[in-house]
Amino acid sequence: MKNYFKLLRFLKAHLRRFALAIFFIFLTSIFEGVQLTLMLPVIDRIFTNKKIILPNKVPAFVTHVVNYFNSVDSHVLFWMIPLVFLCLFAVKQVVTFWSDYFMNDVAQRVMRDVRSRLFERIQTLSLDYFSKKRTGELISRITNDVAVIENAVSYAVTDLVRQPVLVIIFLSLAFTFNVQGTLLIFAMVPFIAVPMGIIGKKLRKLARGQQEKMADINSHLLETISGVRILKAFGTERYEIKRFNQQNQDFYKLRMRGLKNMILLGPITEMVGAICGVAAVLILGKDVLNGHLSFGVFSLSMVAILQVIRPIKRMANVQVIIQQALVANIRIYEVLETKPTVVEKPSPLELPILQQKIQLENVSFHYDQASGHVLQEINLTIKKGELVAIVGPTGSGKSTLVNLIPRFYDATQGLVTFDGIDIKEASFKSLRGQVGIVTQEAILFNDTVRNNIAYGTFEVSLEQVQQAAQMAFADHFIAKMPLGYDTMIGDRGFRLSGGEKQRLTIARAILKNPPLLILDEATSQMDSESEKFVQEALDSLMKGRTVIAIAHRLSTIMKADKIVVLEAGRMVGMGKHDELLFTCPLYRRLYETQFLLTP
């Protein structure tokens, strides 16, 4: 029940429209009951031209209405009743339109809000969260799970209001004209409620399995479509098709198990309805034969009893949708209620531009207790204007170390300071605004060349963008594009070569003009000619700036003012190239086996 109320919280911002939708749904249900009662004068007064005969005990207002119909000439009723029916039907269609419109509008607004909240929450989460969650799974929360919520709001909530009202209306009609027959419905309730409860529990479990399988499918799609070059290079298309088909088959099996249980509710409710109908015929039929009840009253009672089954059946289907929505709701709130591990203080400092040094004092870091330390007791001073190279074997903690400086992660022990100010006291904007990052993987977006270069600094002029592109030696290939700087580059820059993509990311860093640069071998994916030009641009850019480079190439290392050597998260050496060759065995080994091969 708690989870269900959490689901209804999404309606809070749209209560006015929701109330309008409920009002119109209620009116629609009333019209259905009123239209049904018109069959009474039609059968008794028009078609059989007999008096309407009621049971002995009925409410007084019902007697007055029946007396009126009995007093009106059947020929008058012949024209009056159809016109009244048409008028009621027309009004009902207008009311139904607005009830459906407002309820669907509320559902779409809820979907919009939930998607926005999910995306906003995901953007505020720290990097460690994304190391534990698959991208496809998060996409599934925003797409598939939110779509399930839409069904719960637009269809399930509508039926949760409309069907109980219809049940009350039809039961009231049935009780008015046939107390004994209607009591049979209550006798049959357990035969519907018990299966609904059992099947509902199964459906909730199956719904979670279905949504998890859909997350697997989304993850697989994302990986294989984004990595299509690797698939083709290794000839693994058939292998990935086989994997996808297996996941698709697993989802199909779960889906069919859920549908089987959902469909099973139909025959159960239909059978119970048939039993109620037969019992009502046996009870009321005698009164009709004996002349104690008119045929119109008998027909109205029968239809009212049978009509009760229809909304009960719809509510059984609502149970299915609600169970699926509750599972989706849990998955959505798992994201919404996740707290970022790296947060700003309530009133953060505006960090001044770096003037002297960055210090890491006794810094240790681990992702979680089970994974153990990634960095241990790092003490490092980076002076303004220095080029510091970070080297070490794979998994030694190089990327983690540089990620602590813009505070993508928080050190689990120790301090990171800018000019003596703990970066945990600073605002993200003032800290990260000082940092430019260029990595081996060129991160680009399906947008224009101009917007990719100006990413994060969108207010700059085209001339400034062009100047940055020239410094990164990217203007030559941009000029050859169909629309120049307004050319769309495709998903992740798919239409560009590796060297071209990298030059755009370097142009982006040049345009930002940060005092601190973090480079992860920014020229590693370029051909020798492109690398030569871009390296010259980077050399010019690095002058007077603080640069931290994760280095794999000897050319970068030789220019470094300071080389930091990491091994298994510990700093095992620090100094210049010539010094480390004699004082650090690991550095010498890296030099002989790796650096000499990548000058």
- Burial annotation 5-18 (CB, 10 A radius, 16+ → b, else e): ebbeebbeebeebb
**Full DSSP string of 155-193:** IIHHHHHHHHHHHHHHHHHHHHH-HHHHHHHHHHHHHHH
Pairing of strands 435-438, 421-422: unpaired
Q: Which range, 253-257, 291-295, 315-319, has the best average confidence (pLDDT)? A: 253-257
Q: Which of 272, 324, 280 is nearest to 298 (CA)?
A: 280
Helix/strand/coil for 52:
coil
Whole-number Å distance between alpha carbons of 149 and 207 = 13
Classify residue 348 by burial, with Cβ atoms within 10 Å: 0-12, 13-18, 19+.
Answer: middle
For residue 541, the model assigns a pLDDT of: 67
The letter for the amino acid at 364 is: S
The number of beta carbons lying within 10 Å of the beta carbon of residue 464 is 16
Give phi and psi for 525, each to the nearest 5. -100, 15
- Higher per-residue confidence, 488 vs 176: 488
Q: Any idea which residue has 């480390």 for tokens?
A: 580
How distant is the alpha carbon of residue 556 from its chain centre? 43
For 536-561, how does the pLDDT look when each residue is reduced to its tens digit (9 = 90+)?
Answer: 666 766 777 899 988 877 777 888 88
* Sign of the torsion formed by the C-alpha atoms of 173, 176, 178 and 183: positive
Least confident window among 40-49, 142-151, 331-340 = 40-49
The segment(s) of the chain belonging to CATH 1.20.1560.10 are 2-336
Q: Is the pLDDT of residue 32 over 90?
A: no
Classify residue 589 by burial, with Cβ atoms within 10 Å: 0-12, 13-18, 19+.
Answer: exposed
Beta bridge partners of 519: 438, 549
Q: Would you tell me the crossing angle of helices 498-512 and 528-542 to the nearest 10 degrees? A: 10
Beta bridge partners of 21: none
For residue 421, the model assigns a pLDDT of: 93
Using pLDDT thresholds of 50, 70 and 90, give the confidence band for residue 159. confident
Give phi and psi for 358, each to the nearest 5. -105, 135
Least confident window among 99-103, 283-287, 440-444 = 283-287
Q: Is the pLDDT of residue 187 over 60?
A: yes
Q: Which of 594, 582, 518 is nearest to 553 (CA)?
A: 594
Structure tokens at 220: 């697989």
CA distances for 52 relative to 36, 257, 292, 479, angstroms: 16, 50, 10, 89
Helix/strand/coil for 104:
helix
Whole-number Å distance between alpha carbons of 46 and 76 = 9
Whole-number Å distance between alpha carbons of 273 and 312 = 10
Whole-number Å distance between alpha carbons of 247 and 255 = 12
How distant is the alpha carbon of residue 255 from its chain centre? 20
For residue 416, the model assigns a pLDDT of: 93
Whole-number Å distance between alpha carbons of 226 and 443 = 13
Whole-number Å distance between alpha carbons of 285 and 358 = 94
Q: Which of 286, 310, 307 is nearest to 298 (CA)?
A: 286
Q: Which of 268, 305, 13 is nearest to 186 (CA)?
A: 305
For 271-283, how does the pLDDT look when each residue is reduced to its tens digit (9 = 90+)?
Answer: 776 776 677 667 6
Q: Maximum Cα–Cα distance for the chain, whole Å?
A: 118
Please count the CA atoms within 13 angstroms of the CA of 277 that sit on its side-chain side: 16
Using pLDDT thresholds of 50, 70 and 90, give the confidence band for residue 378. very high
Whole-number Å distance between alpha carbons of 449 and 493 = 9
Pairing of strands 357-365, 413-418: antiparallel
Helix/strand/coil for 140:
helix
For residue 425, the model assigns a pLDDT of: 92
Q: Would you tell me the crossing angle of helices 74-124 and 157-177 to the nearest 10 degrees? A: 150
Whole-number Å distance between alpha carbons of 599 and 588 = 15
- Burial annotation 25-34 (CB, 10 A radius, 16+ → b, else e): bebbbebbbe
DSSP state of 357: E
- What mean pLDDT value characterizes the chain? 80
Domain 2-336 has CATH 1.20.1560.10: yes
- Higher per-residue confidence, 575 vs 49: 575
Structure tokens at 496: 């560009």
- The CA-CA-CA angle for residues 576, 578, 579, to 5°, reads 65
CB 390 within 8 A of CB 402: yes
Strand (E) or helix (H) holding 476: helix 475-479
Strand (E) or helix (H) holding 431: helix 428-432
Q: What topology does CATH give the domain 348-434+545-599?
A: Rossmann fold (3.40.50)
User: CA dihedral defined by 236, 242, 245, 247, rounded to 10 degrees?
Assistant: -90
Give phi and psi for 37, each to the nearest 5. -70, -20
Whole-number Å distance between alpha carbons of 303 and 170 = 9
For residue 366, the model assigns a pLDDT of: 85
CB 474 within 8 A of CB 504: yes
CB 290 within 8 A of CB 333: no
For residue 570, the model assigns a pLDDT of: 92
For 414-464, how does the pLDDT look when each residue is reduced to its tens digit (9 = 90+)?
Answer: 999 999 999 999 999 899 889 988 877 778 888 888 988 888 887 888 999
The number of beta carbons lying within 10 Å of the beta carbon of residue 456 is 11
The segment(s) of the chain belonging to CATH 3.40.50.300 are 348-434+545-599
* Mean pLDDT of the region 106-119: 88
* Mean pLDDT of the region 355-384: 87
- Higher per-residue confidence, 248 vs 370: 248
How distant is the alpha carbon of residue 51 from its chain centre? 62
The letter for the amino acid at 298 is: F
CB 101 within 8 A of CB 24: no
For residue 534, the model assigns a pLDDT of: 63
How distant is the alpha carbon of residue 69 from its chain centre? 58
- The CA-CA-CA angle for residues 412, 414, 416, to 5°, reads 100
Least confident window among 21-35, 128-142, 164-178 = 164-178
